[in-house]
Amino acid sequence: MSSTVAQLFANITNLKSPPKMHLHWIPSLIRNMQKTLDIEKIRSETPGCSHKIHFNNAGSSLSPQSVTDAVISHLTLEQKVGGYEAAEEAKHLLSSFYVEFAKLLNCDESEIAFIENSTRAWELAVHSITWAYGDQIITAENEYGSNYLGLLHIAKQKKVDLITVPCDELGVVSLKQLEKSITSKTKLIALTHIASQRGDIQPATAVGAIAKKYNVLFLLDTCQSVGQINLDTKELNCDFLCGSGRKYLRGPRGTGFLFAKNRILRSLEPIFLDLHSASWRDSKSYEFIKTAKMFECYERNVAAMIGLSTAVQYLSELGINAIEERISHLSSVLIAGLSELQGIRVLEKSHHRSGIITFTKDNIDAKILRNELQKRNINVSVCKQQNAQLDLGVELTGDVTRVSLHYYNTRQEVSEFLQALGEIK
C-alpha cells in the first residue's frame, strides 16, 4: 500500500504510525466504513413495502424503484432505436456492471461474468474444470439441492467421487471432517455459504483457507449471502463464486453472475462458447478470451443486466456493513419473538445467523401456514424437505416455513408477523 494512503488512514483512525497494509485492502476498508441506513427513505424508494410485509427476500426481494426505472428505460430505448443500437448507447451502463461487481466482491473487473442465474453460473464453473477418472469433489450435506444434483451428475458423467461432509450440532460444516476428507485426488470443494433451507452462515473463510493449504479449487455459492453480508473474494480465497441478482441484491429476475479468479482462468475449458467468449482463428482453431467473459454468451437480457448493475450501485451507496448489521438486528428480534410462541421450532442453531430463519409450527403444514399468512398480506416461503434431503431429512418429517428478512423490513413488520403466526391454529 502506498505510504500516503497508509498515513491518511492512520490520521483518520488516530493511529500513531501508518499500519502495514496491502493494496488489496483499500476497497475493503472503504466498503467497511459504517454508514447509517435511512429506513424511511429506503422504504419510500421501494414501492412494494407500502402494501405487503415481504419476508420472502431469499426467494426474490423487492427492487428499488431506480432498478425498475433502469430496466424500463432500456426496454423503451430498445423499442425506439433497435436492440443492438440501444446496447451501443448503453455501453457505459453495461461496463459499469463489471465495475460495480468488482467493487462489491473486491476483485478485478476481468474476473466477473454476467450469467442469467446462479445455478447456470455454478454449472459453468464446475464443467470448466478438467476432470480425470477418480478425482474427488467435497461438498457439505446442506449444499443447495440443484448444486447437489449437478454434483451427482458430474460424478456419474466423469467418474469422479463425491464426498459429502456432515454439518455439526450447530448446523455448520465440520472443518475437521472436511480437512480429514482431503486426499491427493481432491480437486474441488463446493460449498453453499448460506443454505436455502437453513440460515446459518457457513465458515467460508476457514474453508477457503483449507482449500488454499491443500491447493484445491474452491467454489462458493453465495446466492443467499451476496447482498446481505460482506463478501471479499481475497479474504474468502475462493476460485469461483456465484450468485443471483433477484435475492439480497434486489436486482431483476433472470440475472446472476460468476466470479472466476484470474489466476485459474487459463486452466479452464468452458463447455459452451460463442463469438463473444472465443475468437475464431482459422478453419482448425479458436481461442477462448482470457477473462471471465469466457463464460458469457453474447445474447442476453441487456435491460435486466443494467437493472442488476443499478441494484449493486444502490447497495454500495447504502454500505454492505450497515445492511449486514440491520439484517442481523431484525433477525435477532424475530428469533426472540419466535422463542416466545408455543409450538414453534426454529432450525437455525449456530451463532452466525443471517436474515433467513426457518421453523416448523406444531400440527400445521408449512404450505397451509404460508397460505394463511398470505391471506394476511405477509409473504413467506416453504422449503421442501425433498429438496434438502441430507439436511432436513435427518430430523424432520415435513417441509419447513422460511422467513427471510431484508434491511428494508421493520421491527413493526416483525411484530405483526409474530402476532399473525400466533393467531393461526
In 3D, which of 234, 208, 206 has the Cα closest to residue 220? 208
**Least distance from ligand PLP to the Cβ atom of residue 224, Å:** 5
For residue 282, what are the contacts with CB-CB under 8 A and spacing of at least 6? Answer: none
Strand partners, 218: 189
Q: What are phi and psi of 347, to 5 degrees?
A: -90, -25
**Taking the complex as a whole, how short is the minimal distance between the CB of residue 281 and ligand PLP, in angstroms?**
34
**CB nearer ligand PLP, residue 118 or residue 291:** 118
Nearer to ligand PLP, 6 or 62 (CB): 62
Place of cell 452462515: 201
Distance CA 342, CA 70 (A): 46
Q: Which positions ≥6 away from 276 have C-beta within 8 Å? A: 293, 296, 297, 298
Q: All 3 cell numbers of residue 296?
A: 458469457
Q: What CA–CA distances, in Å, run from 138 to 130, 177, 196?
A: 16, 11, 19
Q: Supply the minimum distance, in Å, between the C-beta of residue 267 and ligand PLP.
A: 25
User: C-alpha grid cell for residue 174?
Assistant: 465440520
CA distance 295 to 125: 8
Return the number of the residue (46 or 224) whose C-beta is nearest ligand PLP: 224
User: In whole angstroms, how close is the CB of 381 to ligand PLP at the nearest point?
Assistant: 9
The strand pairing partners of 54, in sequence order, are 379
Closest to ligand PLP by CB, 195 vs 217, is 195
Strands 186-192 and 217-221: parallel
| Shortest separation between residue 327's beta carbon and ligand PLP, angstroms | 16
Residue 198 or 326 with smaller CB distance to ligand PLP? 198
Rounded to a whole number of angstroms, the minimum distance from the CB of residue 201 to ligand PLP is 12
Least distance (Å) between residue 144 CB and ligand PLP: 4
CB 220, min distance to ligand PLP, A? 10
Helix (H, G, I), strand (E, B) or coil at 189: strand
3-state SS assignment for residue 125: helix
Pull the grid cell for residue 187: 480437486
Helix, coil or strand: residue 359: strand
Specify the residue, 146 or 418, whose C-beta has the smaller distance to ligand PLP: 146
List residues bridging with 140 in a β-sheet: 165
Identify which of residues 6 and 196 has a Cβ nearer to ligand PLP in the complex.
196
Q: Which is nearer to ligand PLP, 46 or 358 (CB)?
A: 358
Which residues here bind ligand PLP, judged by CB under 6 A? 117-119, 144, 146, 192, 195-196, 221, 223-224, 244, 256
Residue facing ligand PLP at closest CB distance: 244
